[in-house]
């Protein structure tokens, strides 16, 4: 499986405070920390699922700032773009 994000990727966000399950969201935790994780629901709570498999899921305590709608990736002279206005899913 390829990683969803790579170092130096440029992400394009859509500002929206409405949770979108399955999408990669920019999330502000209650302590003010901003994180980029996939939003899931476990039947009782919203859960932030890390895109890095070495990190554990955590209960989403805070607010959605927006969601990822695009990625721009450069590799030498080549440029690759992925875009979906409804939000990208890893």
Is 73 exposed, middle or buried (CB count within 10 Å of its CB: 0-12, 13-18, 19+)?
A: middle
Q: What beta strand segments (E) does the chain contain?
A: 10-15, 24-29, 34-41, 46-49, 58-59, 62-75, 78-83
Give the tens place of pLDDT for each residue, 6-54.
899 999 999 999 999 999 999 999 999 999 999 999 999 999 999 988 9
- Sign of the CA dihedral 15, 17, 6, 8? positive
Cα–Cα distance for residue pair 72/17, rounded to 1 Å = 23
Give the tens place of pLDDT for each residue, 48-85.
999 988 999 999 999 999 999 999 999 889 999 999 99
pTM of the model: 0.88
């Amino acid at each position: 499986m390829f990683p969803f994000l790579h170092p130096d990727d440029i992400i394009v966000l859509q500002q929206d405070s409405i949770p979108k399950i399955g999408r990669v969201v920019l999330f502000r935790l209650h302590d003010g920390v901003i994180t980029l994780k996939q939003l899931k629901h476990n039947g009782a709570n919203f859960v932030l699922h890390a895109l890095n498999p070495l990190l554990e899921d955590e209960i989403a305590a805070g607010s959605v700032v927006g969601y990822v709608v695009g990625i721009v990736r450069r590799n030498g002279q080549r440029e690759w773009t992925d875009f979906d206005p409804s939000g990208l899913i890893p």
